[in-house]
Amino acid sequence: MVFVSDIPTRDMTIPGFIPVVPAGGVGSRLWPLSRPERPKFLIDLLGTGATLIQATVSRLAPLGTELLIVTGERHAPAVSQQLPDVPAANIVTEPSPRDSMAAIALAAALIEQRHGERIMGSFAADHVIPDADAFRAVVATAAEAARTGKVVTIGIAPTEPSSAFGYIHAGAPLADAPGAFEVQAFTEKPDTETAASMLAAGGYSWNAGMFVVSTSVLLGHLARLQPALESGVRQIAAAWDGPERAEVLARVWPTLTTIAIDHAIAEPVAAEGGVAMVPASFAWDDVGDFDSLAGLLRPGPDGAVRIGRDAPISLVDAPGAVVVGGTKPVAVVGIADAVVVETDEAILVLGRASAQRVKDVELP
Amino acid sequence: MVFVSDIPTRDMTIPGFIPVVPAGGVGSRLWPLSRPERPKFLIDLLGTGATLIQATVSRLAPLGTELLIVTGERHAPAVSQQLPDVPAANIVTEPSPRDSMAAIALAAALIEQRHGERIMGSFAADHVIPDADAFRAVVATAAEAARTGKVVTIGIAPTEPSSAFGYIHAGAPLADAPGAFEVQAFTEKPDTETAASMLAAGGYSWNAGMFVVSTSVLLGHLARLQPALESGVRQIAAAWDGPERAEVLARVWPTLTTIAIDHAIAEPVAAEGGVAMVPASFAWDDVGDFDSLAGLLRPGPDGAVRIGRDAPISLVDAPGAVVVGGTKPVAVVGIADAVVVETDEAILVLGRASAQRVKDVELP
């Protein structure tokens, strides 16, 4: 599916480049809109007519001759249905979640098995990037940097001292990779004060979990740092397109180490000087909670932000209301910055400033 | 329907006394629980197993040999169904709402038509009085005072300087009516400051709209003050139990003056010295809004007050939550004193301090 705004203004195909989209994670701070059976990436969160994974694929498709999705068995049918232009062979189904390293390494091994070495770029299925052209230009720069043998990440220019993201600490420009910088370290999510002092010091950008790297470089690091994981995904990839896929997958997949790519590759390789960063100034949002979601949308004439909802709203002394989903009329009286979410399964009433705490809701 | 707590501890029948229950008003501050087609008096608001009109009738029934309900055509079937022990002849149906004076005067005229002069007592269908025995004792005192020819009201001892009620300003005790006082004036709902100074001055009680009076005294005042209204209800009452009821009702009812008993009788007769007040110290609540409703109920172990609801609730940083109705799980996150109401028709999210403003909700 390609939207008018996503049609590239020039040919942006990157030679030998294959985008990979790991589609996992529930988005538990967007409950009850997102739920285990209806994760964030399958929802048209912004009311644009495209789900987040559809928008992600539209953004990436022009960059390669093909594209891989890695997702869980439970969601593969919905992913196929939402992406009719992606061939079934390019939707890689995990039998169970084993975190991002297994998913991305399997994609790398499968690409090598099918095509030989390629530059791959891994981008989450549920992030929002309105300016697709700017995004693609940065990915092209990152792909060139990846040809020098680096693991390349994309650093998002921070717009505030957020405590919701990890940060990338960049160093000097790389001589052989125009537009790229060496990465000194990745940092965990800081508190807001620490984030503010990092922003004041300069050289820090948000880690959006985007990685552009040669498949052989990635698998080479993995063979060194997580050898069992590397040999496991190689075995699975070798059997993938043959009659033994099910048997090998059932036998090997459960043995793979459950680890994030950040811990398995990004952090240790950065410490060795093997990671580069391309800075990006495009707007980016991981739509982590209802506060950030509401911030991406414009209120109507009555002051209410509506998400996936047409039913009537009445506000009485209720500035900043956000009303999500549902078919019943909703009235908000005497509460500022209230978020009201109705789904078929549950009702959430939230103070916007507490959006991160939605993950603490405990309901059967 | 009689509940154990309402069984009088002794015979409290008041000779010649007939209770009248005007059952009107929507309770617009309890929307969407109450609605035009489902007014407050038809709802089991406190979760006791009895609707407010059932509890009202249980409280009053032991005082008389019979009892009259006056209600709108729209609600008569539900009233009959909820009160199977009240004969159809005692449910008086108004073709259209014409305020409290027409309703109470028609009841008075019908009682005189059927029985001759009686002492009547008019009590709203949707008030809450937990101590039925104390209530009945006060009504008995008021009925004795009414035999002296006064219009007698019951004054509720204020527990706070409320701006939600009108006040009764009492004077000296009446020599010929033990327990009763002369009424100097009725006052409109004051602001909270004025209410506080009234309470400090003393002699003021809440006007709960309860009137105990001889039918002939009431109709006599009416003949003087609103003669057309008096002759109209006399005409209707004369035809009520015969074949011409429908014709007379259709012809005369629409001509009756629409006026509250307070303005038609209570205020002008008080100015003439014709109104008495019996003070009452029993707990009384008109359950005017969700704040007062919640105040009548106890929170569960999780801190939430539940009204008409069994479905799960999850509270995260949400002290003082009140959750009303509905079958979906409800989570409240990061808002104090939130009231969440779900009905089949609508959802209300309310800050408890703004409970009075629910009447300003505008929804189709």
Q: Tell me if chain B has a CB within 8 Å of the CB of A84.
A: no
Q: Tell me if chain A has a CB within 8 Å of the CB of B361.
A: yes
CB contact under 8 A, A357 and B316: yes
Q: Tell me if chain B has a CB within 8 Å of the CB of A327.
A: no
Tens of pLDDT along B335-352?
A: 999 999 999 999 999 999
Rg of chain A (C-alpha set): 21
Tens of pLDDT along A273-314?
A: 999 999 999 999 999 999 999 999 999 999 999 998 999 999
Are the C-beta atoms of residues B18 and B64 closer than 8 Å to each other?
A: yes
Alpha-carbon distance B64 to B13, whole Å?
5
Sheet holding B338-342, edge to edge: A313-316, A330-333, B347-351, B338-342, B322-324, B305-307
Q: Tell me if chain A has a CB within 8 Å of the CB of B353.
A: yes
**Residue corresponding to tokens 């919640």:** B294
Name the helix (H) or strand (E) containing A192. Answer: helix A192-201
Mutate to test the interface with B, among A349, A358, A360 (most CBs of B within 10 A): A349
Restricting to B residues 262-321, those with a Cβ less than 8 Å away from any Cβ of A are 312, 314, 316-317
Tens of pLDDT along B159-169?
A: 999 998 999 99
Out of A332, A347, A357, the one facing B334 most closely (by C-beta) is A357
Which residues from chain B sit within 8 angstroms of residue A357, using beta carbons? 316-317, 333-334
User: How far away is chain A from the Cα of B36, in angstroms, using its nearest Cα?
Assistant: 16
Tens of pLDDT along B93-139?
A: 999 999 999 999 999 999 999 999 999 999 999 999 999 999 999 99
For residue B327, give the chain A residue with the closest CA.
A346
The pair of three-digit structure tokens given for residue B188, joined into one six-digit string: 């409109």
**Comma-separated ranges of CATH 3.90.550.10 domains in chain A:** 4-280
CB contact under 8 A, A326 and B316: no
CB contact under 8 A, B363 and A312: yes
Which residues from chain B sit within 8 angstroms of residue A32, using beta carbons? 331
The pair of three-digit structure tokens given for residue A12, joined into one six-digit string: 């942006």
Mutate to test the interface with A, among B34, B328, B349, B357 (most CBs of A within 10 A): B349
CB–CB contacts below 8 A, A to B: 129
Q: Tell me if chain B has a CB within 8 Å of the CB of A351.
A: yes
Out of A316, A328, A363, the one facing B361 most closely (by C-beta) is A316
The pair of three-digit structure tokens given for residue A208, joined into one six-digit string: 């959006």
Mutate to test the interface with B, among A350, A356, A358 (most CBs of B within 10 A): A350
pLDDT at residue B9 in the model: 54
Supply the CATH classification number for the domain B4-280: 3.90.550.10
User: How far away is chain A from the Cα of B130, in angstroms, using its nearest Cα?
Assistant: 30
CB contact under 8 A, B363 and A326: no
Are the C-beta atoms of residues A330 and A311 closer than 8 Å to each other?
A: yes
Alpha-carbon distance A286 to B324, whole Å?
35
Burial class of residue B47 in the structure, from the number of CB atoms within 10 Å of its CB (0-12 exposed, 13-18 middle, 19+ buried): exposed
pLDDT at residue A26 in the model: 80
Which residues from chain A sit within 8 angstroms of residue B326, using beta carbons? 347
CB contact under 8 A, B354 and A360: no
pLDDT at residue B135 in the model: 97
User: How far away is chain A from the Cα of B20, in angstroms, using its nearest Cα?
Assistant: 36
Q: Show pLDDT as tens, one digit a residue, over chain B (364 residues).
A: 444 445 555 678 999 999 999 998 888 899 999 999 999 999 999 988 999 999 999 999 999 999 999 999 999 999 999 999 999 999 999 999 999 999 999 999 999 999 999 999 999 999 999 999 999 999 999 999 999 999 999 999 999 999 989 999 999 999 999 999 999 999 999 999 999 999 999 999 999 999 999 999 999 999 999 999 999 999 999 999 999 999 999 999 999 999 999 999 999 999 999 999 999 999 999 999 999 999 999 999 999 999 989 999 999 999 999 999 999 999 999 999 999 999 999 999 999 999 999 999 998 7
Residue range A173-191: mean pLDDT, rounded = 95
SS3 B113: helix
Q: Tell me if chain B has a CB within 8 Å of the CB of A329.
A: yes
User: How far away is chain B from the Cα of A199, in angstroms, using its nearest Cα?
Assistant: 29
